[in-house]
A and B are shown apart, each in its own frame.
Chain A
Amino acid sequence: MSIATFLGADWQTLADAFGLGGIYALMAVGIGLVFGVLRLVNFAYGQLVMAGAYALAFAYERGWPVWVGVLLCFGVVIALSLAMDLVVFRPLRSQSPAVMLVATFAVAFLLQSIALLWFGPLGKIAASLSSLNQPWSIGGVDIRKISIVATLVAAGCLVALVALLGRTSVGLHMRAAALDFRTARLLGVRANRVIGSAVLLSGLLAATVAVMMTVQTPLVTPDFALRDTILVLAGVVLGGMNRLISATLGGFAIGFASGFLGGALPTDQSQYLPSFLFAAVILVLLIRPGGLFTRAGAQAVERV
């Protein structure tokens, strides 16, 4: 194998890894936002993405225009995430984080099997945006458009989010609530509004992720985005849950790492990739419990 083809394959893997990292970063923001405000790790986040993907497939099957499908996707995901907050998270808000974790685990399984009941195990096709899967040739390297689009969209969403959190009053309330919910309420922050907007934002992000993921994997099955959510959760812990930016970086890092190593390593090594990623997560939890991308001394988890 010549160096050029080796490098060429490498560049392509790199671009794909960037795209995956971008998508995972968006999911990490969604999970991190809800965690910041509610102290709730949402196992069911992937099922929001799955619901959005089914909405896209539904529209594609009926031959509706692309924008209608995307609109439907956003509508379904946002409605579902608000319903989840209202029916499950709100009654459980006073429970311990461990109970809430188990509850979201239950919701995840519930939604997944509802999808199985409704749409069957075989899966549906959502290929309305598949033209984005075509490669662009840049300097002899073929890079899929979606990798670039995903990276750009992720960066755009992050900038918009940082602006929202830093420049608007809702953002200020959200940051205050994330820091110390009780004090924030005492100072006049309206809890339900803040939580509602965090849930809404995380729903928006889930819908965006759904649109981009169906481009890469147009076959939508009930366990769509399940593996990705598990990895992103690990990444969020890896990066540091307590700050949005470190959670996002963690999500990006794990997406990039799994995309890059998965593409670069031969199969008999890359099949053990999940083991290494999760071993890294456990190691971080033990050695640097605040996360990799936080200042030293930040303590996110209780120790005994």
Chain B
Amino acid sequence: MRHARAALELLAPAFLVIAVGLFGTTVSSSTETYVITTLVNVAIVVALYVFIGNSGVVSFGHMSFVAVGAWTAGILSMPTGEKPAIMPNLAGFLRDTTVGNVPSLALAAAVGAVYALVVGLPLMRLSGLAAGIATFGVLEITHNVLRYWEKIGPGLNTFSAVPETTGLLQAAVGALIAIVVAFMYQRSRYGRMLRATREDPAAARAVGVSVYGQRLVAFTLSGGLAGLAGGLYVHLLPLNTEGLYLNLTFITLAMLVIGGLTSLWGAVVGAVVVSAVDSFLAEAENGVQLPGGTLDLPAGTRIVVVGALMALVLILRPSGLTGGRELPLPRATLRGLLTKFSA
């Protein structure tokens, strides 16, 4: 029964992702892009969850790892012939190397993890407010450097000519990998130790858990997942530095908060629900046909709605839509389901 319950914890978010992916096969190609974006968002938010959810420390800096992953995958998978036009000042090694789709994603995850480890080594000593400000500083520095340092990327240019391999399948597989990794981590002793430090740092320390060490493990892992998500993202659409900055930081944090900070299910639900609302509003900003007539919202409505939603959730239901629980089934229903399955 304990294992069945654990399996349900993994299956619920996985099924949600698969359902979203299947839904994507039934819609028009313009809507399909929104569905793929939703799946990439799931990967980003799950990456955020691995650190923020399990440690209880807010990080504003994760978009740096997404950006570094996007840069890695984008530069390495762009055809050599296209590189001089978009990135004229690229360093020699990067200019001459081109790798395939899957290796570029693996490298994106690796570079994201290494960068998170390097950043985390000093920063994981900080908690609360200081951690928030310091990770924000990391975001600013990464953004600033990627924007102007043309030896390691396109600078102010956009990543065009990167093979657009992130379709429904790749996005769904990426999101599933993120979910499985997050699930395995939170079931492992490391995940449990980190959650213990979240609930009561003093008690956790008293039984020999290193708060610093556990946070560093989660930060590195979550940086790797964020890097992977960045790789998926750059293979989906032409990105530039502005696309991986404050707005995306805000939207993905909002997804996590709205879904519920402290559970994997919450992270996935938040990402799917907010992405759905956001896609609908994005479409409505260009004018959308509804049964009652044309809905045409002015530009900027998206962030107003998402911001208002986030503020409302924070004030009225601080633990998020899912209540921060793994699966919001009432205990009786769950037990009924489980006995039926095991019978």
Contacts and interface: CB of A to CB of B under 8 A. Distances in A.
B127 A302 contact: yes
A301 B129 contact: yes
Contacts of B310: 106
B134 A117 contact: no
A279 B145 CA distance: 12
Contacts of A272: 144-145, 148
Given A109-B307, A110-B303, A278-B140, 12 more contacts: A41-B133, A92-B315, A95-B318, A106-B307, A109-B247, A114-B300, A222-B300, A234-B137, A278-B144, A281-B133, A282-B138, A301-B129
Contact of B307 (A107, A233, A274): A107
26 contacts: A41-B129, A92-B314, A92-B315, A95-B318, A98-B129, A103-B314, A103-B315, A105-B253, A106-B311, A109-B306, A113-B303, A113-B307, A116-B300, A116-B303, A117-B300, A230-B136, A274-B140, A279-B137, A282-B134, A285-B126, A285-B130, A301-B129, A301-B130, A304-B124, A304-B127, A304-B215
Contacts of A152: none
**Can you list the 5 inter-chain pairs with the closest CB atoms, starting with the nearest?**
A110-B307, A301-B130, A116-B300, A113-B303, A278-B137
A302 B125 CA distance: 9
Contacts of B122: 282, 286
Given A88-B315, A304-B127, A233 B133 contact: yes
A88 B138 contact: no
Given A274-B140, A279-B137, A282-B137, A98 B311 contact: no
Contact of A102 (B127, B215, B253, B300): B253
Interface residues of A, number: 45
A249 interface: no
Interface in B304-343: 304, 306-308, 310-311, 314-315, 318
Contacts of A135: none
Nearest to B135: A282
A303 B127 contact: yes
Q: Chain B at the A interface: mostly helix, strand, loop or mixed?
A: helix
B125 A303 contact: yes
Interface in B119-166: 122-134, 136-138, 140-141, 144-145, 148
Contacts of A96: 128
B243 interface: no
Interface of A: 41, 88, 91-92, 95-99, 101-103, 105-107, 109-110, 112-114, 116-117, 121, 222, 230, 233-234, 237, 241, 271-272, 274-275, 278-279, 281-282, 285-286, 289, 300-304
Nearest to A238: B133
Given A106-B314, A274-B141, A97 B253 contact: no
A177 B7 CA distance: 50
Contacts of B307: 106-107, 109-110, 113
Nearest to A106: B310
B299 interface: yes
Given A114-B304, A281-B137, A285-B126, A304 B211 contact: yes
Contact of B311 (A107, A222, A304): A107
B315 A91 contact: yes
Given A92-B314, A274-B140, A285-B126, A101 B132 contact: yes
A117 B302 CA distance: 10
Q: Which of B58, B211, B300 has the most CB of A within 10 A?
A: B300
A275 B140 contact: yes
A106 B300 CA distance: 14
Contact of A106 (B58, B201, B250): B250
Contacts of A112: 303
